[in-house]
Amino acid sequence: MVKGGLPHDQLAPAWQILLLGDGSPTRHLQLLTRDRTEVDVIDMSLIGADLDGAPDGIRAIPGPRLRRQVWLRTAAGQRLAYATSWWEASHVDEYLQNRSLPIWANLNRLRTELYREVQGIYYGHSQPLEIAFGQKGPFWGRHYLFWHNGRPLTLIYEVFSPYLTRYLGPMQIPEYPSSE
């Protein structure tokens, strides 16, 4: 589990708020871009008990499981993030009543109280993501569990587009002054 932040020469404060904060990334993206955040559903597949190459947190989600893959984008079409979520198949319809909406919008409509447990962050390069985002890497991502009523609800893996530097500033601050 990720508890503390990173040095600012590795990840700038604004990016840390997006990656390590417990707020809704969909809501944050709307606030940053001042545009609706919409979802392009790439795939929704039953994967049964398969671990699906997912982070270890998937073991907390009871099977059989359903995997949902999406692009989060502005209403104008700019891709901002890629996300995969894994759900207990028997409960997905209860929480994703409108599958064309972001998870946050569905859960907000239901007034679902959640706890977001950020478990890991990632930094790296990916040619397929560069092509899909139309942006050169590197990319920052994370995975987390959503908890509801003391039980794991879904595991979510997200990767954010470097396009967001337009709103958040640079990903790293090379000469950030020390607080010592």
How many Å apart are CA 82 and CA 80, to the nearest integer?
Answer: 7
Please tell me the predicted confidence (pLDDT) of residue 93: 78
**DSSP assigned state of 76:** T
- The tens place of each residue's pLDDT in the chain, 180 residues long, gives 566 788 888 888 888 888 888 778 888 898 899 998 899 999 999 999 999 999 999 999 999 999 999 999 999 999 999 999 999 998 887 777 777 767 766 666 667 677 888 999 999 999 999 999 999 999 999 999 988 888 998 999 999 999 999 999 888 877 655 554
Please tell me the predicted confidence (pLDDT) of residue 64: 96
Residue 160 lies in a domain: yes
Residue 145 near residue 151 (C-beta atoms within 8 A): no
Residue 135 lies in a domain: yes
Residue 2 lies in a domain: no
Query: What CATH number has the domain bearing residue 62?
Result: 3.40.1410.10
Structural domain tally of the chain? 1
Residues 6+ apart with CB under 8 A from 163: 78, 79, 80, 133, 134, 135
How many Å apart are CA 61 and CA 132, to the nearest integer?
Answer: 29
Residue 35 lies in a domain: yes
Residue 5 lies in a domain: no
Amino acid (one-letter) located at 73: R
Residue 8 lies in a domain: no
Q: 3: phi > 0 → left, psi -120 to 50 → alpha, else beta; which?
A: alpha
Please tell me the predicted confidence (pLDDT) of residue 125: 95
Please tell me the predicted confidence (pLDDT) of residue 169: 87
Residue 28 lies in a domain: yes
The Cα-based distances of 37 to 62, 91, 104, 108, 137 in angstroms read 29, 24, 10, 14, 22
Residue 6 lies in a domain: no
**Domain residues for 27?**
13-168
Please tell me the predicted confidence (pLDDT) of residue 12: 86
